[in-house]
């Protein structure tokens, strides 16, 4: 029951009470008047005054009651109007949404339905009396048990249920309803009624069925489609892929979506096509590319990818739609076709025969290059193309030609020999074959004519026949003996004419079958020309055997030859030893040359130096340039070892272009090269070094990607015959080291004083190797003062080496040595571990800053080392700051960027140290996740309150402004005067560090330093 009937009943009751109260008050008042005689008709009744009072009181009591009841009636009338409006809206909503309500009386098993439900059941006049049997009768038989059980669970178990079932209304139309319900209990806790809402979802079910059918239709279309459909969002992240993709590649769906699909592309194709995809995403233009996909078995297959965007009303990309088409077979067929065409072309151009193609009417359509040369034709297009082939022959040959052409038209091959002059009149005999070229229908489509020049053979044919008959008997005898030998045999008669060649000789000597009867100098000129002529004539004239071995260019072979004279003539026995000779030459070459670059190797270098030192003199000294590539490892790390090898080959070629033919260029090993220069003085060697530096530092292109290296050179020159090659290389290496120490990309000429410096440095290296294990290294800490609070907020860890004999070795001396040796990885890990353990004992909030070397980023696992130190020490990552310089970012910047972001996830602060001293600091500030920059002491030292420091002030002010705009903290290093602090404070610098604040202290002095500085004033 709605609120409207209840409101009407309430108003009616209040109206009755009001009338009753008014009537009662009037009656009491009248009775009192009558009783007291006040009423004129009843005058004289006693107790008049008392009764009058009672009457007045009764009337006054009734009057407020009437007033209140009247007010309540008016209020309930207003509420009734509001409820009527709300009920009208509710009924409208029910009609639009096709829903209504119901309740079920447990006692009489009757259902009460809202009017809208009656309408949905085809009962607009609400004549339907609904009980449970009637409801089940109208319900689809398949849904009756479900409905009955759901009602049971609502009433008996008290659960709330939602079900969907089909029901046929009074109009005979079956509809699907969604119903939910729960129960209501009476005061005793017994089920009183069940009630809930219901909604007609017939249209929704039809839409869902249509959607399922559409999805099944689309899925079937996708499965049967030879192409693989895919979609991607506006940023290019793939959202859907056809199922054939996963069968092709074997990838899981979660691995392929987004950008994971790219891992299935061939690396070469990914590098080529990824920029095209990025450009398409930017421009919104369709894309059509080809690439190889890795199959499940690991093989590669060619696909064509096409995609176009769908745009919204504003022209922005909403989604990309694309397909993948398997074009592998077509691609391979095209490759095979091109290879076949190239193969056929190479055959046509390499054969000595004249090859023509004519149509069935006999018109020439094609002639190969050798054929044009044989026929002495200068221009095929103007002189021969389209000519009737038979017309090019003499008249007496045309009948023979027509017969051959007719045979070829019928599918047979015909042969004939005939005389025909060339275009320039040269008389030649030709051996000709005419063959059909079959078309797609299996019938002859064109004719192939092959002509071979047999003029020489024709002229000598008779003589050869005579010589052949004369030699047959002798050849047969020799053949029986020599046919099985692997040695070549050529026999000459007393007139030195060839009378016999065995099978092995036929395989070695070009045109050997035509040599019978020829004189020796015509038949085998290579065997009887210098330097072998002497052996041949001595054996022939003196009658003694001779043996020799050599290379015969005409045969392209190494032969071992035995010459045996006999009463009937002379015989040559020769064996092909080319493979043995090539193997020996290859071994000799490999023993003296670098396999990658082809340059002389270390052994040759030593040999050349030793020989040069023997002949060295003051006016012509022995000069050695020792080269080492700068930043070669960075190329290897960023572009890969294959690119590094190609770079070494290119460097070798450039080196050879810089030197003279009398100079010797060698690869010493790795990225080290050497040049033994044929120069007259160290000055000339210096000019050569400058030219080499200039040429080698030019950019390189490695597989389409740029690469750059520099070179440092050490030069040594000597005319002392007592100096050895090893000593020269040692001195050149010392000079090379000095060149690298001077900034690289330069050269240094060896001086005697360099040797002492080198020995000292080598001793320093030796001592440094065990410094950590011996406990000679320790850390000191220099405080960082917050200028806003004048309190210490952290310390920078500084490495110190106390050598047992040298004393305190400055870091500027041993840190570069440690980096060069690679020891900085071990030392850096120890320093990081020590600093974290010390800082863990400091007051909460005090940070520690640790410097990391670029070598640690290249060769050490920085992330693992940092995480290990934090874990072992218990120090929070928020209290650790890592300071790096630009050199960390110069090599493998993408990997280092990822590493810095990973460090940031540990809560660590990243600082750029020595800011302003590198050429690209600004670009790194934009690209890398720096939290702090440290202004180098070289800028801070020139700051003061006077005008002379205007330049340094401008630089520092610019750095601070830049950092502030990027939200970074600024620390100034090397503060030594109060005026420097004043200037830095006025510019907005956050922190200062330097001797003015405090010298570095040991770990045991940190607490005292914090207390002293926090209770003192710097200014």
Q: How far is CA 853 from CA 281, 781, 820, in A?
A: 39, 18, 11
Residue 1015 has pLDDT above 80, yes or no: yes
CATH code: domain 771-1014 is 3.20.20.450
Residue 744 has pLDDT above 60, yes or no: yes
DSSP result, 624-683:
EEEEEEESHHHHHHHH-HHHHHHHHHHHHHHHHHHS-TTSEEEEEETTEEEEEE--SSHH
With b for 16 or more beta-carbon neighbours within 10 A and e for fewer, the 825-864 pattern comes to: bbbbbbbbbbbbebbeebeeebbbbbbbbbbbbbebebee
Which of 162-171, 582-591, 760-769 comes out lowest in average pLDDT? 582-591
461-582: CATH topology: Beta-Lactamase (3.30.450)
Q: Who wins on pLDDT, 338 or 306?
A: 306
Residue 1's pLDDT band, with cuts at 50, 70 and 90, is very low
Measure the CA–CA gap between 625 and 605, rounded to whole angstroms. Answer: 12
Q: What is the pLDDT of residue 971?
A: 95
Mean pLDDT of the region 669-678: 90
The two most distant CA atoms of the chain are separated, in Å, by 201
Mean pLDDT of the region 372-398: 81
Residue 59 has pLDDT above 90, yes or no: no
CATH code: domain 360-453 is 3.30.450.20
Residue 109's pLDDT band, with cuts at 50, 70 and 90, is confident
Residue 919 has pLDDT above 50, yes or no: no
Residue 1008's pLDDT band, with cuts at 50, 70 and 90, is very high
Q: What is the pLDDT of residue 920?
A: 46
Residue 35 has pLDDT above 70, yes or no: no
Q: What is the pLDDT of residue 742?
A: 76
Residue 21's pLDDT band, with cuts at 50, 70 and 90, is low
Residue 588's pLDDT band, with cuts at 50, 70 and 90, is low
Sign of CA dihedral 70, 72, 76, 79: positive
Q: 691-727: per-residue pLDDT in tens? A: 999 999 898 888 778 888 889 999 999 888 888 888 8
Share of the chain above pLDDT 70, in %: 81
Measure the CA–CA gap between 163 and 142, rounded to whole angstroms. Answer: 13
Measure the CA–CA gap between 783 and 858, rounded to whole angstroms. Answer: 30
Q: Do domains 102-207 and 771-1014 have the same CATH topology?
A: no
DSSP result, 494-524:
TT-BEEEE-HHHHHHSTTGGG-TT-BHHHH-
Sequence spans of domains, the chain: 3-84, 102-207, 225-332, 360-453, 461-582, 593-750, 771-1014
* Highest mean pLDDT pick, 394-398, 791-795, 898-902: 791-795
Q: Which CATH superfamily is domain 102-207 in?
A: PAS domain (3.30.450.20)
Average pLDDT in the chain: 81
Residue 690's pLDDT band, with cuts at 50, 70 and 90, is very high
Mean pLDDT of the region 965-982: 91
Residue 478 has pLDDT above 80, yes or no: no
DSSP result, 895-961:
HHHHHHHHHHTTT-EEEEEEETSSTTHHHHHHHS--SEEEE-HHHHTT--SSGGGHHHHHHHHHHHH
Residue 783's pLDDT band, with cuts at 50, 70 and 90, is very high
593-750: CATH topology: Alpha-Beta Plaits (3.30.70)
Residue 221's pLDDT band, with cuts at 50, 70 and 90, is low
User: Given 3.30.9.10, 3.30.1600.10, 3.30.450.20, 3.30.70.141, which CATH number is that of 225-332?
Assistant: 3.30.450.20
Contact residues for 651 (Cβ-Cβ < 8 A; gap 6+)? 629, 673, 696, 709
Strand pairing of 664-669 and 710-718?
unpaired
Q: What is the pLDDT of residue 654?
A: 92
Q: What is the pLDDT of residue 908?
A: 94
With b for 16 or more beta-carbon neighbours within 10 A and e for fewer, the 350-376 pattern comes to: eeebbbbebeeebebebbbebbbebbe
């Amino acid at each position: 029951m709605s609120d409207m009937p209840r409101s009407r009943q309430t108003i009616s009751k209040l109206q009755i009470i009001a009338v009753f109260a008014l009537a009662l008050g009037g009656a009491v008042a009248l009775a009192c008047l009558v009783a007291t005689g006040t009423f004129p008709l009843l005058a004289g009744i006693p107790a008049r005054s008392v009764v009058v009072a009672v009457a007045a009181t009764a009337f006054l009591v009734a009057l407020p009651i009437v007033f209140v009841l009247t007010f309540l009636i008016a209020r309930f009338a207003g509420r009734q109007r509001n409820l009527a409006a709300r009920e009208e809206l509710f009924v409208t909503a029910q009609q639009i949404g096709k829903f209504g309500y119901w309740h079920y009386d447990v006692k009489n098993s009757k259902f009460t339905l809202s009017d809208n439900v009656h309408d949905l059941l085809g009962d607009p006049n609400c004549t339907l009396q609904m009980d449970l049997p009637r409801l089940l009768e109208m319900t689809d038989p398949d849904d009756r048990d479900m409905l009955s059980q759901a009602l049971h669970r609502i009433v008996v178990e008290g659960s709330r249920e939602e079900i969907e079932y089909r029901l046929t209304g009074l109009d005979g139309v079956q509809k699907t309803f969604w119903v939910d319900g729960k129960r209501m209990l009476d005061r005793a806790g017994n089920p009183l009624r069940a009630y809930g809402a219901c909604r007609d979802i017939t249209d929704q079910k039809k839409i869902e069925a249509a959607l399922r059918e559409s999805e099944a239709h689309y899925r079937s279309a996708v499965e049967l489609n030879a192409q693989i459909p895919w979609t991607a969002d506006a940023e290019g992240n793939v959202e859907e892929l056809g199922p054939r993709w996963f069968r092709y590649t074997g990838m899981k769906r979660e691995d392929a979506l987004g950008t994971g699909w790219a891992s299935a592309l061939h690396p070469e194709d990914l590098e080529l096509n990824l920029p095209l995809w990025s450009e398409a995403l930017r421009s919104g233009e369709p894309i059509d590319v080809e690439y190889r996909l890795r199959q499940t078995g690991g093989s590669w297959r060619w696909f064509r990818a096409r995609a176009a965007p769908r745009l919204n009303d504003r022209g922005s990309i909403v989604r990309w739609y694309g397909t993948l088409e398997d074009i592998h077979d077509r691609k391979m067929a095209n490759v095979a076709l091109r290879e076949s065409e190239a193969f056929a072309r190479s055959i046509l151009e390499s054969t000595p025969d004249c090859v023509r193609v004519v149509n069935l009417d006999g018109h020439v359509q094609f002639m190969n290059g050798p054929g044009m040369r044989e026929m002495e034709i200068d221009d095929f297009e103007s002189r021969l193309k389209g000519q009737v082939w038979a017309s090019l022959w003499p008249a007496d040959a045309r009948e023979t030609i027509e017969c051959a052409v007719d045979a070829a038209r019928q599918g047979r091959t015909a042969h004939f020999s005939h005389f025909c002059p060339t275009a320039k009149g040269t008389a030649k005999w030709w051996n000709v074959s005419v063959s059909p070229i079959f078309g797609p229908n299996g019938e002859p489509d064109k004719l192939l004519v092959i002509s071979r020049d047999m003029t020489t053979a024709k002229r000598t044919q008779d003589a050869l026949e005579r010589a052949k008959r004369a030699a047959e008997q002798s050849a047969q005898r020799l053949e029986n003996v020599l046919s099985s030998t692997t040695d070549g045999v050529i026999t000459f008669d007393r007139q030195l004419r060839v009378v016999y060649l065995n099978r092995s000789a036929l395989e070695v000597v070009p045109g050997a079958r035509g040599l019978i009867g020829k004189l020796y100098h015509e038949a085998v000129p290579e065997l009887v020309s210098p330097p072998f002529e002497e052996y041949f004539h001595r054996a022939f004239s003196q009658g003694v055997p001779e043996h020799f071995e050599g290379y015969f260019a005409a045969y392209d072979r190494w032969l071992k030859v035995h010459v045996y004279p006999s009463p009937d003539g002379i015989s040559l026995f020769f064996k092909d030893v080319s493979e043995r000779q090539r193997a020996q030459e290859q071994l000799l070459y490999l023993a003296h040359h670098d396999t990658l670059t082809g340059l002389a190797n270390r052994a040759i270098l030593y040999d050349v130096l030793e020989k040069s030192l023997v002949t060295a003199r003051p006016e012509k000294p022995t000069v050695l340039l020792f080269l080492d590539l700068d930043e070669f490892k960075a190329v290897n790390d960023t572009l890969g070892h294959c690119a590094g090898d190609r770079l070494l080959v290119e460097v070798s070629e450039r080196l050879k272009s810089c030197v003279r033919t009398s100079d010797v260029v060698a690869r010493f090993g790795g990225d080290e090269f050497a040049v033994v220069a044929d120069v007259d003085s160290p000055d000339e060697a210096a000019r050569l070094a400058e030219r080499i530096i200039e040429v080698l530092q030019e950019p390189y292109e490695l597989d389409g990607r740029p690469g750059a290296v520099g070179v440092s050179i050490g030069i040594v020159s000597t005319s002392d015959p007592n100096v050895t090659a090893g000593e020269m290389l040692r001195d050149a290496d010392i000079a090379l080291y000095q060149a690298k120490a001077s900034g690289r990309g330069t050269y240094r000429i060896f001086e005697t004083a360099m040797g002492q410096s080198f020995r000292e440095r080598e001793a320093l290296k030796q001592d440094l190797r065990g410094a950590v294990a011996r406990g000679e290294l320790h850390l000191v800490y220099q405080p960082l003062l917050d200028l806003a609070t004048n309190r210490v907020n952290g310390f920078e860890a500084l490495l110190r080496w106390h050598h047992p004999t040298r004393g305190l070795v400055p870091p500027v001396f041993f840190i570069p040595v440690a980096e060069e040796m690679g020891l900085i990885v071990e030392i850096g890990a120890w320093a990081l571990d020590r600093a974290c353990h010390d800082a863990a004992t400091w007051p909460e909030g005090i940070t520690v800053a640790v410097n990391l070397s670029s070598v640690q980023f290249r060769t050490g696992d920085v992330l693992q080392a940092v995480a290990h130190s934090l874990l072992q020490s218990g120090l929070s990552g928020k209290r650790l700051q890592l300071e790096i310089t630009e050199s960390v970012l110069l090599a493998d910047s993408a990997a280092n960027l990822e590493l810095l972001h990973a460090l940031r996830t540990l809560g660590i602060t990243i600082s750029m140290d020595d800011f302003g001293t590198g050429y690209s600091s600004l670009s790194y500030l934009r690209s890398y996740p720096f939290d702090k920059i440290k202004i180098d002491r070289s800028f801070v030292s020139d700051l003061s309150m006077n005008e002379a420091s205007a330049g340094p002030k401008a630089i520092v002010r610019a750095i601070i402004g830049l950092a502030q705009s990027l939200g970074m903290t600024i620390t100034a290093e090397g503060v030594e005067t109060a005026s420097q602090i004043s200037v830095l404070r006025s510019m907005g610098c956050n922190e200062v560090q330097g001797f003015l604040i405090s010298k570095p202290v040991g770990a045991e002095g940190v607490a005292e330093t914090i207390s002293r500085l926090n209770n003192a004033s710097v200014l």
